[in-house]
Structure 1
Amino acid sequence: MEEDGIIMAGKMDEELDDDGRPRRTGTVWTASSHIVTAVIGSGVLSLAWAMAQLGWIAGPLALALFALITVYTSSLLADCYRTDDPISGMRNVTYMRAVKSNLGGNKIWLCGLCQYVNLFGVSIGYTITAGLSAAAVSKSNCFHKKGQEAACSISTNVFMVGYGIIQIFLSQLPNFHKLWWLSIVAAVMSFAYSFIAVGLSAARIISGNTRKTSITGTIVGVDVSASQKVWSTFQALGDIAFSYSYSMILIEIQDTLRSPPAENKEMKKASLIGVVTTTTFYMLCGCLGYSAFGNQAPGNILTGFGFYEPYWLIDVGNVCIVAHLVGAYQVYCQPLFAAVETWFARKCPGLQILTHEHPITINKNLGCNINIFRLLWRTTFVVISTVLAMLMPFFNDVLSLLGAVGFWPLSVYFPIEMYISRNHIARSSPKWMLLQSLSFLCFLVSLAAACGSIEGVAQSLQHYSPFTSKT
Structure 2
Amino acid sequence: MEAVKFYLGEKQQRICGVFAQESLFGTGIAYTITATASVRAILRSNCHHQGGYNAPCQYGDSFYMLLFGIVEILLSQIPDFRSIEWLSIFAAVMSFSYALIGSGLGFLKVIENGTIKGSISGVPASSNLKKLWLAFEALADVAFAYPYTLIVLEIQDTLKSSPPENQTMKAASLKAIVITTFFYLCCGCFGYAAFGDSTPGNLLTGFGFYEPHWLVDLTNACIVLHLVGAYQHISVESLPGGVPDDVRRIYDRTCNVLPLLQFRVGSAGGIELLASGSIFPSGNDI
What residue number does 2:201 align with? 299
> Where in structure 1 are there 5+ consecutive unaligned residues?
1-95, 355-370, 400-471
Q: Distance in 1 between matches of 2:160 and 2:78?
A: 21
Letter in 1 for 2:151: I
What residue number does 2:273 align with? 385
- For residues 165 and 130 of structure 1, do their structure 2 counterparts lie closer, same or farther at Cα, with a shift above 3 Å needed? same
Write out the 4+ residue segments of structure 1 that deviate beyond 6 Å after TM superposition.
none
Answer with 1 or 2: which has the greater Rg: 1
Q: Distance in 1 between matches of 2:209 and 2:30?
A: 23
Structure 1 residues 9-408: aligned runs within 5 Å: 96-175=1-80, 178-208=83-113, 212-220=117-125, 224-306=126-208, 308-337=210-239, 339=241, 343=245, 347=249, 374-375=262-263, 378-392=266-280, 393-396=282-285, 399=286
2:31–2:227 Cα contact (<8 Å) kept: yes
Q: Distance in 1 between matches of 2:53 and 2:220?
A: 19
Letter in 2 for 1:108: Q
Letter in 2 for 1:153: Q
3-state secondary structure, aligned to 1:112: helix
Q: Distance in 1 between matches of 2:128 and 2:262?
A: 50
> Where in structure 2 are there 5+ consecutive unaligned residues?
none
3-state secondary structure, aligned to 1:260: coil
Q: Deviations over 1:141-186 (max 9, x none)?
A: 1121223332211112222122111111122344477243212111
Query: Cα distance, 1:378 vs. partner?
Result: 4.1
2:72–2:270 Cα contact (<8 Å) kept: yes
Q: Deviations over 1:252-288 (max 9, x none)?
A: 1222223333222221122112111101111111111
Q: Distance in 2 between matches of 1:373 and 1:317?
A: 34
1:140–1:307 Cα contact (<8 Å) kept: no
TM-score (norm 1): 0.54
Q: Distance in 2 between matches of 1:176 and 1:99?
A: 27
- For residues 294 and 105 of structure 1, do their structure 2 counterparts lie closer, same or farther at Cα, with a shift above 3 Å needed? same
Q: Distance in 1 between matches of 2:248 and 2:112?
A: 62
Q: Distance in 1 between matches of 2:211 and 2:248?
A: 56
- For residues 255 and 175 of structure 1, do their structure 2 counterparts lie closer, same or farther at Cα, with a shift above 3 Å needed? farther
Q: Distance in 2 between matches of 1:290 and 1:186?
A: 26
- Root mean square deviation, CA, Å: 2.9
Q: Deviations over 1:83-117 (max 9, x none)?
A: xxxxxxxxxxxxx1111111104211011111111
- For residues 389 and 146 of structure 1, do their structure 2 counterparts lie closer, same or farther at Cα, with a shift above 3 Å needed? same
- For residues 125 and 347 of structure 1, do their structure 2 counterparts lie closer, same or farther at Cα, with a shift above 3 Å needed? closer
Kindly indicate whether structure 1 or structure 2 has the higher relative contact order, using CA contacts under 8 Å at least 6 residues apart: 2
2:199–2:208 Cα contact (<8 Å) kept: no
Q: Distance in 2 between matches of 1:262 and 1:305?
A: 47
Query: Cα distance, 1:291 vs. partner?
Result: 0.8
Query: Cα distance, 1:212 vs. partner?
Result: 3.1
3-state secondary structure, aligned to 1:303: coil
Query: Cα distance, 1:235 vs. partner?
Result: 0.6
Letter in 1 for 2:41: A
Q: Distance in 2 between matches of 1:176 and 1:141?
A: 32
Q: Distance in 2 between matches of 1:334 and 1:380?
A: 9
The percentage of counterpart residues that share the same residue type is 44
What residue number does 1:87 align with? none
Letter in 2 for 1:104: G
3-state secondary structure, aligned to 2:25: helix
Letter in 2 for 1:217: G
